[in-house]
Structure 1
Amino acid sequence: MYRVESTDLNWRLLAKRQWPLALSLTAIALLETNAITTGPGWWQVPGVVVICVIAVLAPCRPFDAALALTFAIACTAVYMRLLGVAITPHLFWSGSNISMTGAAMATIAILVREASRARAVVGTVLVLAAMAAAEVLGWPIVAPVAYDEWSPDAFNYSIAAAVLLIMAVGTGLYFRARDNERSSQLAASVAAAQNAERMALARELHDVVAHYVTAIVVHAQAGQLSREAAEQVLPTIESSGYEALTAMRRLVGTLRDGESAGPAASSSLVDDVRALAEESGLPVRLSFDLQDAVPQELARSVLRLVQESLTNTQKHAAAVSSVDVSLSSRDGSLFLTVSDDGIASGVPVGGSGGYGLVGMRERVELLGGTFSAGRREPTGWTVRAELPLA
């Protein structure tokens, strides 16, 4: 039993999900056909075939299938009554066999699973009414003499019918609950993936674009001091502006095509870190002791950490005389330390959203590493990260 979402019949999916029911009903119907001993009894075969086919196709349009099944059961019972032939072998008192009952149970289960509550109730009542009508129409044929008498087995038949109904409804409710649970899990997974993507883009936007914009603001402030200073910093401002535009284009490409938001690291992590240090305009001292090869994706994240650390120094620190960047590896781990000796400035350049440290911590934890940041004595700030190389 399976809900086919498209309004068009997806035959391959329907066959994949419904073949156990189709096989079971076919086997039962063949056994019942072999039990027919009189010629007119073969008239039940077309009705039984139609009823079983409707049950197999029920997931396509459950409520319509319930209506069609009701009509097919009633028509079969009526023309068999007019022919004066009993449905063979009848499962209950007189009017339906095992295949018809199985088809009705399957349709009710699918209806309860797929349809709205109101439609499920209406469709179930109609199918039960058709089954009851078949019993009433078949009774005079099976027991013409004792038509007005209540069979001693009637109570047992009623209990059996109630049990089958409960099984059908219970099966539908169980699968309905499972479907709802899967839908909730899927919605939660989609929401988590969307949130993770938003956070990744937010980190890239903060780490990449904000870095260049901060450099533009810092150099613009320096250029306001004198004409000579302005002439010196204008090329740097222009370069930072181009870099910011390039980074924004990468982010737009990520949103459109799902490509990597940040520039890929080159083959040399050392050269990339040196380039960042030169672009920052800060008095950076570099120390490298890389004994192991650094994977490309890890190198890209390290560059982001260095970039954000230098940006934070530009934004939050004054009177910086040195920034020490240390990068080393040993025992399967990569160690990064960025320290400055600046004094905390009053208002950071461009304000502060407080997302820099949050983004760095998230980036490190996603890679399975550890992150720490805090003040150093007597002045300054230190950022440390340990990342697994594997």
Structure 2
Amino acid sequence: MESKELNWRLLAKRQWPLALSLAFISGLELFTADYTNPWWQAPGVAVICAIAVLAPRRPFDATLALAAAIVFTAVYLRFFDLSMQPHFFISGASISVTGAAMATIAIVVREAPRWYATSGTAVVLAAMVAAEVISYPVVAPRDYRTYEPDPGSYLFGAVLMFVIAVGTGLYFRARDNERTSQLAASVAAAQNSERLALARELHDVVAHYVTAIVVHAQAGQINRAAAEQVLPTIEASGHEALTAMRRLVGTLRDGESSTPAASSSLVDDVRSLAVESGLPVRLSFDLRDAVPQELARSVLRLVQESLTNTQKHAAAVSSVDVSLSSSDGVLHLNVVDDGVASGVPVGGSGGYGLVGMRERAELLGGTFSAGRREPTGWTVRADLPIS
């Protein structure tokens, strides 16, 4: 049940408030305990708090580990006739241990499937109860007095803490589900938008070839002697039209396209995009094969979206390298910048440009990849078949 999305950097960003809070409370407990050697509880408390902080990585496993740590800590403290200080409940838990247990319950309720969430919560509660039973009665090493608590008031507090923990987990679980639904809808919209753009290009490109076929066919009808000469041209145009249709497949709809218009020179068009972006772009071209117009339009769209993403999401950009090359019937596009991630894009838009770029590349039978580069910057790479 390990989380695939939550790497260590994101875990630290998400969990540092909990880690700081538990560390502060644990330290405060050690210096306010009412017996001479409170450090016996420090190792167990440290392990319990660490498990709570790392719980989002493996939520259900964390509940099992936390329960074992709580029971083991209670056992070895009891062996030395000690108990948690200061007490939060009757005798088996301190404020830090209770906070760690609440945080772990909230995390497993938020992250895990229902059955695992229910089981994990029950295991943590059972461990807390076991710790109370193992540690009762409290024996104070200083004067060997026995503490007689009021179980009713502590039971009310325990129920309140449990409700807060579960309620917090359910709240964030609902928020996560809502966010996931919104993200799925946005991704679907971005994919559909890219398909529609390809559909419009399909209409434009295929119309060009079909027009050529009609013109040459009419010429052959007017001049019967020239009919045999125009037949190869008609055949070639037909093959080009079929190739374009295979590349630009989709569903035809009405709408406006944001794809830049392609001229007869892909190199000139890319240069124009670089100038319009206002970024310090360095261009490199090594095109050994002729690039069809319909493919050139898609390449321009990928370059345009890459430069737009650099403008929105990167700061302190000193260079953007755009390279276009071809070999063995494949066109290679690389866009690399050295900017620092700015966190919030210009205008506050999160954008789904990468989704559309990947969709376009895959519809053309190619591959697409994008990601961070070390120490700073971003890389976009697309490999598209020319024929």
Tell me the TM-score normalised to structure 2 length.
Answer: 0.58
Determine if the alignment matches structure 1 residue 60 to structure 2 residue 57: yes
Which residue of structure 1 lines up, in the alignment, with residue 28 of structure 2?
31
Partner AA of 1:264 in structure 2: A
Distance 1:42 1:239, change over 3 A: closer
Instruction: Answer with 1 or 2: which has the greater Rg.
Output: 1
Distance 1:64 1:240 in 2: 63
Which residue of structure 1 lines up, in the alignment, with residue 180 of structure 2?
183
| Aligned residues of 1:250 and 1:262 also touching (Cα < 8 A) | no
Equivalent position SS for 1:140: coil
Which residue of structure 1 lines up, in the alignment, with residue 68 of structure 2?
71
Determine if the alignment matches structure 1 residue 5 to structure 2 residue 4: yes
- Aligned residue pairs total 257
Which residue of structure 2 lines up, in the alignment, with residue 88 of structure 1?
85
Determine if the alignment matches structure 1 residue 170 to structure 2 residue 160: no
Over aligned residues, Cα RMSD in angstroms?
Answer: 3.5
Partner AA of 1:45 in structure 2: A
Determine if the alignment matches structure 1 residue 264 to structure 2 residue 252: no
Q: How does 1:112-127 map to 2 (within 5 A)?
A: 112-127=109-124
Distance 1:127 1:195 in 2: 46
Which residue of structure 1 lines up, in the alignment, with residue 128 of structure 2?
131
Equivalent position SS for 1:137: helix
Which residue of structure 1 lines up, in the alignment, with residue 198 of structure 2?
201
Distance 1:238 1:57, change over 3 A: same
Determine if the alignment matches structure 1 residue 211 to structure 2 residue 208: yes
Which residue of structure 1 lines up, in the alignment, with residue 382 of structure 2?
none
Which residue of structure 2 lines up, in the alignment, with residue 161 of structure 1?
158
| Aligned residues of 1:251 and 1:261 also touching (Cα < 8 A) | no
Distance 1:106 1:66 in 2: 10
Determine if the alignment matches structure 1 residue 103 to structure 2 residue 106: no
Distance 1:67 1:246 in 2: 59
Distance 1:250 1:114, change over 3 A: closer
Listed one character per residue, the Cα deviations across residues 149-206 of structure 1 (whole Å, up to 9, x for unaligned) are 7x4x322221111111111111111111111111111111111111111111111111
Equivalent position SS for 2:166: helix
Percent of pairs with identical residues = 68
Distance 2:111 2:4 in 1: 10
Equivalent position SS for 2:25: helix
| Aligned residues of 2:138 and 2:146 also touching (Cα < 8 A) | no
Distance 1:145 1:263, change over 3 A: closer
Distance 2:204 2:234 in 1: 18
Deviation at 1:4, TM superposition (A): 4.5
Distance 1:239 1:122, change over 3 A: closer
Distance 1:180 1:73 in 2: 32
Q: Which runs of 5+ in 2 are unaligned?
A: 250-257, 266-275, 277-293, 295-387
Distance 1:225 1:266 in 2: 31
Distance 1:228 1:30 in 2: 100
Distance 1:154 1:236 in 2: 95
| Aligned residues of 2:139 and 2:146 also touching (Cα < 8 A) | no
Deviation at 1:223, TM superposition (A): 2.8
Tell me the TM-score normalised to structure 1 length.
Answer: 0.58
Equivalent position SS for 1:59: helix
Q: How does 1:225-264 map to 2 (within 5 A)?
A: 227-228=224-225, 230=227, 234=231, 237=234, 240=237, 244=241, 264=262
Distance 1:135 1:53, change over 3 A: same
Listed one character per residue, the Cα deviations across residues 93-124 of structure 1 (whole Å, up to 9, x for unaligned) are 11110000000000000000111111111111
Distance 1:134 1:210, change over 3 A: same
Q: How does 1:253-292 map to 2 (within 5 A)?
A: 264-265=262-263
Which residue of structure 2 lines up, in the alignment, with residue 360 of structure 1?
none
Q: Which runs of 5+ in 1 are unaligned?
A: 253-259, 268-295, 297-303, 305-390
Which residue of structure 2 lines up, in the alignment, with residue 43 of structure 1?
40
Distance 1:245 1:30, change over 3 A: same
Partner AA of 1:65 in structure 2: A
Equivalent position SS for 1:58: helix
